[in-house]
Amino acid sequence: MIEIIMLMMLGNADAISDFQLDIDELTLEVEELELQFAEIQETKLATEIKMNTLFFEYTQFDNEKELKDNSKSHQEFVEFKAQELKNLWRVEYKNLKDIKIESDKIEDKLDLTKILLERTQKNMDNLIKASEASSQRYTNVSISLSKTCKIMIEAGLDTNCPTYRELYHLYDNTNPMVSGVMIDYGYDIERFNIMKNHWKFYETEPDYDLVMVDPDSDFQHKSINIEVQSNSFKTLSQVGSDKQRGFQNGGYTVWQDFKVTNNCHNIIVAPDLDLITQAVEYAKNQCDGEINTISEVIKLEVFELEHWYESPALVYQDWLRNAIKDNKELRLGLD
């Protein structure tokens, strides 16, 4: 019931209801077919028993026909009964063939209906999982450096990347006894001795905005992860409350140094402390609000052709077709 209410809130109630109706109908059909199959199996067994009984009685009379001391009247009776039993067995044999055909039909339909039921159930389960995943919102925040940043810092190269040492003192609010202590390696610090499921420790504290620098992989997957890149970059991702600026009026918006992906699960940011601070606050607010990053609108040039056959794509296709044709003509007599 709770799952259905959640899906209704997400706008998937109609799809779930349709799946559930199909599942109910298929389940009922499976039950009816199983009952039919059980009944026809009983009929088949009863027919086989009857045939065996008739055959046993027939063999007794058929063997008695060979006795030489039978009177004429008794011999005629024995032959009559043997033929009668033989005919009755043939009737039951024909009935058994019809029963087997019908049984196979019911069994095939039952197997197919079970497969459809299984697939429908699986589709509904997948939809529920997808809906739950899409509705999931993380409350914790982790900050990590990109692999390039970590390599450059360790190698002592000139870089704009902040170190974990800087990020830790600015943003981290973890408890070292639970989430691990920071070991100093000279070029930077690194987290060590992290307790398993350490984030559960903070769930006992109300309204605690947990921010972890240099997170373990488990916590990264259970938090909004901010990853600092080594350079400035541009992206078409939509950020902030203005959701209509991605593509409109014959152009598209290019955002600078900030990208949100995977339903607010990952935030990619340039190596700028002011922008990283904005990203942390943005993550704490469940990716709601504005980001003060540079953006520009790129206008798309409208390419108008006087004639359809002037299209560059069509011109290229014609050239390629003619080139292939000419090549074939030049090779006549050589292949």
Residue 240: predicted pLDDT: 47
Q: Are residues 155 and 294 in the same domain?
A: yes
At 239-274, the pLDDT tens digits run 544 443 444 445 566 778 988 875 788 899 999 999
Query: What residues of the chain score a pLDDT lower than 70?
Result: 1-14, 129-138, 237-253, 262, 294-317, 325-335
Q: Are residues 124 and 151 in the same domain?
A: no
The domain that holds 102 is classified in CATH as 1.20.120
At 95-138, the pLDDT tens digits run 999 999 999 999 999 999 999 999 888 888 877 766 655 445 56
**Alpha carbon distances (Å) from 55 to 51, 79, 82:** 6, 14, 10
Task: List the domain range (segments joined by +) for residue 74.
Answer: 2-135
Residue with the two structure tokens 């905005």: 209
Q: Are residues 113 and 240 in the same domain?
A: no
Coil vs helix vs strand at 298? strand
Residue 246: predicted pLDDT: 44
* 212 in Cβ contact with 143 (< 8 Å): yes
Residue 259: predicted pLDDT: 87
Q: Which of 83, 116, 135 is the last residue of a domain?
A: 135
DSSP state of 166: H
Q: Are residues 259 and 311 in the same domain?
A: no
Q: pTM for the whole thing?
A: 0.50
Q: Are residues 115 and 56 in the same domain?
A: yes
- Rounded Cα gap, residues 263 and 288, in angstroms: 12
